[in-house]
């Protein structure tokens, strides 16, 4: 059984799934854990995986983290989904995961749900895992603001916390027991994480903001629906 996750002061969750909360606190805090100004790659954040249901804010967070840390951002959907929303062929997808795993640094944004047969491989290389565990009413409201989605998308989002998130927990525990884990349950928790990291970023960096034109274009992009 997963260990309980203590609440943090930002309204999110830290630690858990067998991960010590203190490791996460050292990472988002200040002091010895901070990167030197000349190195935008955070000393303890080099391979990041971001999970969350549709409309949870994965892409927005990935872009902000990329701007703050200098780490390259990889959008999993663009690699996995072929024209016509056809999933990638399994052998080819496994090879792509091997290639991604061999890279020194990345932020991988994407949650393919039951489509992803190579999740463990990706997680085993991660040093930081972020789970956006937002309530269904919030992601539903965001989805309705951005446009229409298929019935399969709504089934996935509705069942995400009940069905898919426990599966992710199991894979994390099995494949990434030493990774730093952050489980954030509110937009406020996400903002406070970014604020803490911004204090450690190189002065003069320009983080991506949802209110910019680029942010509006990203929000309007169609959302993919994981395999049923």
Place of tokens 């040093």: 127
CA atoms of 198 and 200, how far apart (whole Å): 5
Domain boundaries, the chain: 13-207
In the structure encoding, which two tokens stand for residue 150, read together? 């298929």
The domain made up of 13-207 has a fold known as: Rossmann fold (3.40.50)
DSSP structure class, residue 39: -
Give the closest residue to 111 by CA, choosing from 175, 61, 51: 51
CA atoms of 23 and 67, how far apart (whole Å): 23
In the structure encoding, which two tokens stand for residue 123, read together? 């997680």
Give the closest residue to 68 by CA, choosing from 33, 108, 41, 46: 41
Q: Is the pTM of this model over 0.85?
A: no
Q: Which residues lie closer than 8 Å to 154 by C-beta, 6 or more apart?
A: none
Secondary structure of residue 49 in the 3-state scheme = strand
pLDDT reported for residue 191: 94
pLDDT reported for residue 112: 87
pLDDT reported for residue 227: 67
Residue by residue, pLDDT tens for the chain (228 residues) are 332 223 343 344 444 444 443 333 333 322 223 333 334 444 478 999 999 999 999 999 999 999 999 999 999 988 888 887 788 888 888 888 889 889 999 999 989 887 877 889 889 999 999 999 999 999 999 999 988 888 888 999 999 999 999 999 999 999 999 999 999 999 999 999 999 888 876 555 444 343 333 333 344 444 555 665
């Amino acid at each position: 059984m997963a260990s309980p996750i203590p609440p943090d002061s930002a309204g999110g969750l830290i630690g858990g799934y067998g991960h010590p909360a203190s490791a996460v606190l050292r990472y988002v805090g200040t002091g010895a854990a901070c990167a030197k100004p000349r190195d935008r790659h955070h000393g303890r954040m080099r391979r990041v995986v971001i999970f969350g249901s549709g409309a949870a804010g994965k892409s927005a967070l990935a872009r902000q983290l990329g701007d703050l840390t200098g780490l390259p951002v990889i959008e999993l959907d663009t690699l996995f989904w072929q024209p016509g929303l056809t999933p990638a062929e399994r052998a080819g997808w496994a090879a792509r995961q091997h290639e991604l795993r061999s890279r020194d640094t990345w932020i991988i944004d994407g949650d393919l749900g039951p489509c992803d047969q190579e999740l463990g491989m990706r997680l085993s290389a991660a040093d930081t895992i972020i789970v956006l565990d937002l309530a269904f009413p919030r992601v539903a409201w965001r989805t309705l603001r951005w446009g229409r989605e298929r019935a399969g998308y709504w089934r996935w989002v509705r069942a995400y916390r009940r069905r898919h998130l426990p599966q992710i927990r199991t894979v994390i525990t099995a494949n990434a027991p030493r990774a730093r884990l952050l489980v954030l349950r509110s937009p406020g928790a996400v903002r406070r994480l970014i604020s803490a990291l911004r204090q450690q970023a190189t002065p003069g960096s320009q983080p991506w903001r949802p209110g910019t034109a680029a942010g509006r274009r990203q929000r309007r992009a169609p959302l993919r629906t994981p395999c049923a």
